[in-house]
Amino acid sequence: MPPETKKLLGIFAAQDTFNDMSVDQLKVLGLPTYAPEAPTLQEMTSAALRLLAPGPFFLVVEEEGADNFGNFNNAPGVLDGLKRADEAFGTVLEFINKHPETLLITAADSSAGAMDVLGFPPRPDLLAKAASGKDMNGAPYGLTLDGQPFLSKPDRSGVAHPFVITWGTLNDTSGGILVRAAGKDSDQVKGNFDNTKIYSLMRDVLFED
């Protein structure tokens, strides 16, 4: 990319770079969650920062897959999207370390699918009870597994913990909406933060007297 570049347009798919369908639909069609030929969110974010870094800028980055997959109750798709978002966050935080006058704000418009994560003690007998639709005490409940639990990366003790993802709906909900910030004036984002204050904070940083 030449240093004198002023405008840059990247089109990597006819519609989306991800296939927002249910797990079953993806299996039937033989499709991955994300198009392997398309750049990742981290790669696109890194390219944007290289282009914009010489001067003041306003950059909007969105990992839409983590949202859309939730509306299909596709847990692997959501986890894939969240991992990609996390990698992009890492790139931005590295940028902030070198350019401390930069403000990063992360927010959401909803909790797609009302996703929740349930962990299990690493005991086969308890997992068997969960798979059979019974809680730890053997009481029945309406939550049954449709596959094997996910397995976390090993913790500090080297133990990998099983967990499952539950869904409350196929629609968007108001729960689990967080606002976090890093960099310049990020200390203003704490506790409950009204969504209209996000605009005010961005304005103050962008047009500081």
| Percentage helix, strand, coil for the chain under 3-state DSSP, each rounded to 5 | 35, 15, 50
Q: Does 108 share its domain with 121?
A: no
pTM summary value:
0.82
Q: Does 195 share its domain with 140?
A: no
* CA distances in angstroms from 102 to 44, 55, 166, listed in the order given: 18, 11, 37
pLDDT of residue 122: 55
Q: Does 87 share its domain with 23?
A: yes
Q: Does 83 share its domain with 182?
A: yes
* CA distances in angstroms from 194 to 29, 105, 122, 190, listed in the order given: 42, 13, 39, 10
Q: What is the pLDDT of residues 92-108, one digit of tens each?
A: 999 999 999 999 999 98
Residue-number span of the structural domain to which 129 is assigned = 116-166
Q: Does 46 share its domain with 137?
A: no
Asked if 118 and 75 touch (Cβ cutoff 8 Å), the reply is no
In the chain, the amino acid numbered 50 is: R
Q: Does 80 share its domain with 8?
A: yes
Q: Does 58 share its domain with 107?
A: yes
Q: Does 103 share its domain with 122?
A: no
Q: Does 136 share its domain with 192?
A: no
Q: Does 10 share its domain with 107?
A: yes
Q: What is the pLDDT of residues 21-33, one digit of tens each?
A: 999 999 999 999 9
Report how far residue 25's alpha carbon sits from residue 37's, in angstroms, rounded to the nearest whole number.
21
The tally of domains found in the chain comes to 2
Q: Does 26 share its domain with 92?
A: yes
